[in-house]
Amino acid sequence: MKIMGLQKLTLLDYPEHLACTIFLGGCNFSCPFCHNRDLVNVDPQAPTVDEDDFFSLLKKRQGILEGVCISGGEPLLHADLPVLISKIKALGYLVKLDTNGSYPERLEQLVNQKLVDYVAMDIKNAPDRYAMTAGLKELDLAPIQRSIAFLKQGVVPYEFRTTLVAEFHDMEAIEAIASWLEGDSPYYLQCFEDRDTVIQQGLHAPTREDILLFQKRLQTKIPHTYLRGL
- State pTM to two decimals: 0.96
Chain-centroid distance, C-alpha 150: 16
pLDDT of residue 44: 85
* 193-203 tens-digit pLDDT: 998 889 999 99
Average pLDDT, stretch 114-127? 99
What confidence tens digit (pLDDT) does each residue in 23-82 have? 999 999 999 999 888 899 888 888 999 999 999 999 999 999 999 999 999 999 999 999
Q: On the CB side of 69, how many CA atoms lie within 13 Å of its CA? A: 25
CATH architecture of 3-228: Alpha-Beta Barrel (3.20)
* Band of residue 121 on the pLDDT scale cut at 50, 70, 90: very high
Quick one: residue 183, left, alpha or beta (phi over 0 = left, psi -120 to 50 = alpha)?
left
> What would the DSSP string read from start to end of the chain?
--EEEEEEEESSSSTTS-EEEEEE---S---TT-S-HHHHS--TTS--B-HHHHHHHHHHTBTTB-EEEEESS-GGG-TTHHHHHHHHHHTT-EEEEEE-S--HHHHHHHHHTT--SEEEEE--S-GGGHHHHTT-S----HHHHHHHHHHHTTSS-EEEEEEE-TTT--HHHHHHHHHHH-SS--EEEEE----TT-SSTT--PPPHHHHHHHHHHHTTT-S-EEEE--
Domain ranges of the chain: 3-228
The DSSP annotation for 164-191 comes to E-TTT--HHHHHHHHHHH-SS--EEEEE
